[in-house]
Structure 1
């Protein structure tokens, strides 16, 4: 009591146990978020909520050991540093207009400087030891990994690849994403390299027929406002450079599910500005094209808001979407609720 509990996600593990994962905001700042979870084996009761048999914290440790401070070759720091440089090269080589290119690079360098400072622990400088390659060390002030380990948040469900469960995470402090990975149903966890880009958060994962994972991420960065995208060919440990997709995104959450027939269903705000339109699109070619779209909500900007969708497929093939919805009534007051829609793929293909 007294602490905000945010963005709960539900999913089953390989033992058919029900997981509830969320984050508690310790000091009312996003970068003080702490990942929590509960597990239930008794959730198919005729009445009442699941009986939760276990509750604990997921401790996130994406970098190397740092008992005496973050070392210069820390793998998390090196990955962030490399991806900042790669994205700068991408901007340099793809933006034709000289002035826009200059402004974009200046903004990215400033953004990258902030991300790297946090990765190095420069927000928490304490006495430590700087080790050399021969095992020697010198005493000096060192950064400690508070930002590496705190502030990770949930938004979308986990996916399972064989015995591996992958839980998508993001950080509003870093403004990028990370994957929490367990091969033993949560007994132990490891963490992917970070997915670093301009405000790519709240990842959701689709699965190709060859096992490639595709992460779509909310765009909290500069124009063009598109869902960010990255792929993994090693079950989520490493990821391709984060890039813009062709799918519009106004800086809002989206969610994707891989259907049993191999098609992908994406629930998202299909605008670059505003959450007044919420759509479901179907891809039959693993994201190369989105041939069918139908809207769950569509209204005037400022009058309605439909956002933060979560999408799954039931055992019978029914697609379910839940999302936040608000609207103004006849008195001009804003009313809020959570909506649930269920339909099949053919309904989407019929269009609006």
Structure 2
């Protein structure tokens, strides 16, 4: 099990950065967010700032810090603008080299000196998922993902358009967010209306668990609910969707990315971004299923999409209240938690975490 101090100690978070987040591959965004020339997405981690930018169709990743006076180059979470520092106007090309140096200054070796260039990172794509590696010579993303590369590729084929995205601040350690979504033992107590009555999830034990390379997945089987007949009529237009399963399917990509599918009718991508030992920003993305619909069916689906986002945010809010309380409880605890059989994926996460921290 992970020591309690690792959820509380700022020094531990600083050790996690090179051991977990700057090794291997870190999720940054979906390809949809980087589809156009000059689209960019940023990711801020303690001690590291990353920007991924589209240069005429080619994605490039850099440390998001201007080498001149160390200003952040792109300052928003996502957007569309050239890679130009807002401080002195330094503009950078797809190789991270300055292509425009405003006059009145002389710098060594013109624009070819490495000290004047942005530090470049590796960027790779699996399906619609964009990852960055800060290692000098990382394994390929396919090697890092192992058998879960196929899972992400398959999900990418059935996930439809983005319906909502945002960031929800949590006053707790990032690992608590990860561990919380790896089990549904808590669903009957924390989500009685949303998950149990609303989705029929939480009464049955975890099933079809897969664990490899620190990543994991499982199905949380569905139980019949009083709302099933009404729900079936409401989503009748989705009967021909490609991806159908009678469960809540959940995937965790180590260390901090999670993806879920509700019967193939709604999808969610969550990204737990650590801010401090006791603060995490949860980046949320909600998606509709990929299916061609006529105008009448699309109007019905638009309503369902809004309802799915409302339900998803309510679930996140219910978890947030508990997780922030757990963070406070850890500060008063004097022994490790006890895990049951349904929490097998938490045990796998703890094992992968310990191996990475000690590796």
One fold, TM greater than 0.5?
A: no
TM-score, normalised with respect to structure 1: 0.30
**Structure (1 or 2) with the greater strand fraction:** 1
TM-score, normalised with respect to structure 2: 0.30
- Relative contact order: is structure 1 or structure 2 higher (C-alpha 8 Å, sep ≥ 6)? 2
**Structure (1 or 2) with the greater helix fraction:** 2
